């Protein structure tokens, strides 16, 4: 007997399935394209916070989820035996001018209050290290909240942990028990087709991977570019943001631009070898917030979608609150994440 069937084997579907399985539920995951076939099978994996100001329920939820990362991914690895590549290595961000420096110092004060001492956001002098990005003021923001994982490996690690708990993962089959739809941007398009206006859409992103070992160094955020060192001696550079696209998984000259920007920003990457390019489509809801809760168009079913650019950062807590709802009928999901908010 199956208690929960999850459609979609990406970060959201697998996390919901895992959180149900670790509470003892019998879980089946169905994805015709297999594990990590969508946005989740990528290479970037920045687990980065929003700026610590103008606090709201989305930022508070994200903070909790990021702080859960070490325990969540640690348990996934311990149960399934595969590493998601998780580490909380922090992040450096350059400060372009006096205004940015002053703002960063103000945010250091708000972080001390909003992050409750569980992580820090400080302004530091640029270390004398070729991993440190160029910074006109000579200063960097250093936060200790940011983590990283390897998205493709994290999907495989979740799948292994699920199977170790007796969960099924299949490319087809029947829905039994409670049903959760976590079908990414295709699922958003399906809901839009059932509605009178846009519920959500796919936003394509391209990224690339370089061979450079900076595994223990902080990740970098430079003029919108995520530069993420992985445990396996690679560094991911991401990402483009494309609303219009002809194919979901193709890369083009926009990757050359990402590469040139990364090489200019970080001295250590000037000669780094390119290993591969990757593209995928992020699920963005109309409100840009995650959509977690009851499915607005499939009566009795549930929905976990809208992870957009921070799906991996949100996945631990999204999985937990969905398991609360699906298994116990307990709803502790922020009101702004109610799928009806995007209708
Ligand atoms: C270039 C790029 C960089 C990114 N960088 C980051 C980052 O640094 N940090 C971060 O947190 N997030 C990042 N993201 C976003 C993150 O990848 C997404 O938020 C997350 O993967 C969404 O997970 P998901 O499970 O909702 O969707 P997906 O991973 O797309 O999974 C949906 C799954 O549903 C399946 N499916 C579709 N239709 C059906 C159906 N009818 N039945 C069954 N299965 C179905 C698909 O095959 C797919 O496997 C990035 C995304 C991209 C594209």
Sheet holding 91-94, edge to edge: 121-125, 139-143, 91-94, 219-222, 225-229, 234-238, 200-211, 273-285
Cis status, amide bond into 4, omega within 30 of 0: no
- pTM of the predicted model, to two decimals? 0.98
Measuring CA to CA, which residue among 284, 297, 340, 290 is closest to residue 315?
A: 290
316 Cβ closer than 6 Å to some ligand 1 atom: no
Ligand 1 centroid to 130 CA: how many Å?
A: 33
pLDDT of the chain along its 343 residues, tens only? Answer: 999 999 999 999 999 999 999 999 999 999 999 999 999 999 999 999 999 999 999 999 999 999 999 999 999 999 999 999 999 999 999 999 999 999 999 999 999 999 999 999 999 999 999 999 999 999 999 999 999 999 999 999 999 999 999 999 999 999 999 999 999 999 999 999 999 999 999 999 999 999 999 999 999 999 999 999 999 999 999 999 999 999 999 999 999 999 999 999 999 999 999 999 999 999 999 999 999 999 999 999 999 999 999 999 999 999 999 999 999 999 999 999 999 999 9
Collect all residues with Cβ–Cβ distance below 8 Å to 261 and sequence separation of at least 6.
222, 223, 225
Helix-then-strand count for the chain, H and E: 7, 16
Task: Report residue 320 CA to chain centroid gap.
Answer: 15
Q: What is the reported pLDDT for 73?
A: 98
Q: What is the reported pLDDT for 178?
A: 98
Q: What is the reported pLDDT for 94?
A: 98
Q: What is the reported pLDDT for 33?
A: 98
Q: What is the reported pLDDT for 55?
A: 93
If 0-12 CB within 10 Å is exposed, 13-18 middle and 19+ buried, where does residue 340 land? exposed
Task: State how far the Cα of 284 lies from the Cα of 19, in Å rounded to an integer.
Answer: 23
86 Cβ closer than 6 Å to some ligand 1 atom: no
CA distances from 182 to 263, 334, 339 (A): 36, 18, 12
Ligand 1 atom with minimal separation from the 40 CA: 21
Q: What is the reported pLDDT for 92?
A: 98
Count of residues in the chain: 343
Ligand 1 centroid to 166 CA: how many Å?
A: 24
Q: Nearest 5°: CA angle at 181, between 154 and 308?
A: 55
């Amino acid at each position: 007997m199956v208690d929960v069937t999850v459609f979609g084997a990406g970060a959201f579907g697998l996390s919901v399935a895992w959180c149900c399985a670790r509470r003892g539920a019998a879980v089946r995951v169905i994805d015709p394209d297999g594990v990590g076939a969508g946005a989740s099978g990528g290479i970037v994996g920045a687990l980065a916070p929003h700026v610590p100001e103008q606090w709201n329920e989305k930022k508070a939820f994200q903070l909790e989820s990021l702080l859960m990362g070490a325990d969540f991914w640690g348990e996934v690895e311990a149960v399934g035996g595969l590493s998601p590549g998780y580490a909380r290595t922090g992040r450096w961000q350059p400060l372009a001018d006096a205004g940015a420096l002053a703002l960063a110092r103000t945010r250091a004060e708000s972080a001390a209050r909003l992050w409750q001492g569980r992580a820090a956001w400080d302004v530091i002098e640029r270390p004398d290290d070729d991993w440190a990005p160029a910074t006109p003021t000579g200063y960097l923001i250093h936060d200790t909240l940011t983590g990283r994982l390897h998205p493709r490996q994290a999907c495989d690690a979740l799948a292994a942990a699920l199977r170790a708990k007796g969960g099924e993962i299949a490319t087809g089959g029947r829905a039994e028990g409670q049903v959760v739809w976590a079908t990414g941007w295709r699922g958003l398009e399906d809901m839009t087709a059932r509605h009178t206006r846009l519920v959500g859409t796919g936003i394509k992103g391209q990224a690339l991977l370089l061979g450079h070992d900076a595994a223990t160094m902080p990740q970098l955020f430079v003029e919108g570019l995520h530069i993420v060192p992985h445990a396996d001696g690679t560094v991911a550079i991401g990402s483009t943001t494309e609303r219009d696209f002809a194919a979901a998984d193709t890369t083009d000259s926009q990757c050359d631009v990402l590469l040139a920007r990364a090489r200019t920003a970080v001295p250590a990457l000037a000669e780094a070898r390119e290993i591969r390019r990757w593209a995928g489509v992020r699920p963005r809801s109309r409100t840009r917030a995650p959509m977690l809760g009851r499915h607005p168009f499939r009566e009795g079913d549930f929905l976990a979608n809208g992870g957009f650019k921070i799906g991996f950062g949100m996945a631990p807590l999204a999985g937990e609150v969905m398991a609360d709802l699906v298994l116990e009928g307990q709803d502790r999901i922020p009101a702004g994440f109610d799928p009806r908010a995007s209708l």
